[in-house]
Structure 1
Amino acid sequence: MAAKTQKQRDFLNHLEAYLAKRDGVDKLLKISRYTSKLILSSSILPHAHPLTRGLKSFESSVGLSRKAFRLGKFIQDVNALRSSAQEQNRDNHFYFLSLLAYGGEGIYYFVEQIVWLSKSGLLKPSLAREVQKISAWAELIGYVGSIALKREDLKELDEKLKCLSSSIEISEAREESSDEVREKEKVLKMKILMKKLSILQDFADGLMALADIRDGKGMIFSPFVISSAGLLSALISTHKNWISC
């Protein structure tokens, strides 16, 4: 039923709801930025071509715009940490992973505000270079924690799927209707797929954070590879945000 409603939804209304979200606009900017970086890194255009200079300027401008969109975003991680602390029936392992995921991401978003203020000219330009390593390390720690948490969630979802599959087999053996259970199974499979895509996205973003820490040194951190990882992450984020709004 939910899928049917989604298909019948007016596209422009859906697009309006998507663009009304901060993350919606941010991910479209991310797609634009990493598409530009991918074109530049692939050497499709000659170095002296006017469009090459235009793409470099556009990519830099979009990067700064995305930092502005993150203003105050660290608050969501503060609230996520508070919520995880209030959850019942959770062990210390869960709290530790939550601290890594939300704490690392929260510090990253907070420091990015300083980077933005520095690059926009309000603070001294050298400050951005001084704090960017802190930002990259916090981001990487956040992704490590996020991947670990999502793997735990994935295990729980897999267990639920096994139980539903068993229920369907029992219902079919008794010649009873299992339509409702099958619908739940479809929803659960979709959740598992989205969770796997989210983990893949975290790996791609983590690779970019590691590239920032190593200043792009190493074959795996070539501009083409990092641009491809950024574009993959942006497309997955856009898809997740689109179906959730």
Structure 2
Amino acid sequence: MSAGDTLDKLVVFLAKRDGIDKLVKTFQYVSKLAHWAAESSSPGLAGRAKNWETSAGLSRKAFRTGRFLTGLNGLRRAPGEFGALAVLANAGEMVYFFFDHFTWLSRVGVLDAWLARRMSFISAFGESVGYVFFIAMDLIMIRRGLRQERKLLREGGKDKDKEVKKIRMDRVMRLMATAANVADLVIGIADIEPNPFCNHAVTLGISGLVSAWAGWYRNWPS
């Protein structure tokens, strides 16, 4: 692949809302880890990293304006083969993004600051519920794909190689989605039920980067 091809793909990637979100999410969690690493040895640098983290986090919330409509749209459509799983996943996502608006507005001073914690809790709860059901659906599809692949390899057929390749590509994408959702679930739990493991800067930093980089992979133009 030439450098021009890579640049073209980067331009397309960054033109997407999800592309920008994953880039800024990378900034957010790299700066979180930088703040943790420099906190004791270089307070000045740690303060700058913290400012970067805060700015990136607030920027991501602004970019997500109206994102709750995706979940709402999913709810108003037929849930398909997953039924209740799809309904609960989309409902959780809708709650997450809707209340995230109020978290953002309270943190930038438009709404009262005391609302931030409450809105963040509701948003994180919806987010976590959504992730649980999205993970479940992806795991079901991965299992189904494995069965289908074994059947194709056993029985053969004219388009066997093409179908197997398609199944494997879908599995990789679903594994990336699962990794991202599990990582984001850890971050959500840190908001809902603070604990030493989930709330540690390293846990949050690594989880955020896993989610961001899985998103890079999934959204990168083919």
Question: What is the aligned counterpart of 1:97 among 68, 73, 85?
Answer: 85
- Letter of the 1:203 partner, please give it: V
Q: Which residue of 1 aligns with 2:193?
A: 214
Percent same amino acid among aligned pairs?
34
Give the Cα separation in 2 of the matches to 1:51 and 1:142: 36
Q: Which residue of 1 aligns with 2:67?
A: 73
Question: What is the aligned counterpart of 1:29 among 11, 20, 24?
Answer: 24
Q: Which residue of 2 aligns with 1:234?
A: 212
Q: Which residue of 1 aligns with 2:140?
A: 152
Q: Assess, with a 3 A threshold, how the Cα gap between structure 1 residues 143 and 40 changes in structure 2: closer, same or farther.
A: same
1:243 Cα deviation after fit:
3.8
Tell whether the 8 Å contact from 1:100 to 1:144 is kept in structure 2 after alignment.
Answer: no
**Would you say 1:133 and 2:124 are equivalent positions?**
no
**Can you list the C-alpha shifts for 1:171-196, whole angstroms capped at 9, x where unaligned?**
5xxxxxx5x42132122112112212
RMSD of aligned Cα (Å): 1.9
- Letter of the 2:188 partner, please give it: A
Runs of 5+ in structure 2 lacking a partner?
Answer: none
TM-score with structure 1 setting the length: 0.83
- Letter of the 1:101 partner, please give it: A
1:83 Cα deviation after fit:
3.0
TM-score with structure 2 setting the length: 0.91
Give the Cα separation in 2 of the matches to 1:120 and 1:213: 21
Q: Which residue of 1 aligns with 2:58?
A: 64
1:43 Cα deviation after fit:
4.2
Give the Cα separation in 2 of the matches to 1:212 and 1:190: 34
- Letter of the 1:209 partner, please give it: G
Question: What is the aligned counterpart of 2:173 among 162, 180, 194?
Answer: 194
Aligned residues: 221
**Would you say 1:117 and 2:105 are equivalent positions?**
yes
Give the Cα separation in 1 of the matches to 2:108 and 2:217: 30
Runs of 5+ in structure 1 lacking a partner?
Answer: 1-6, 172-177
Tell whether the 8 Å contact from 1:77 to 1:103 is kept in structure 2 after alignment.
Answer: yes
1:220 Cα deviation after fit:
4.5
Pair member with larger Rg: 1
- Letter of the 1:122 partner, please give it: V
1:44 Cα deviation after fit:
7.5
Tell whether the 8 Å contact from 1:80 to 1:102 is kept in structure 2 after alignment.
Answer: yes
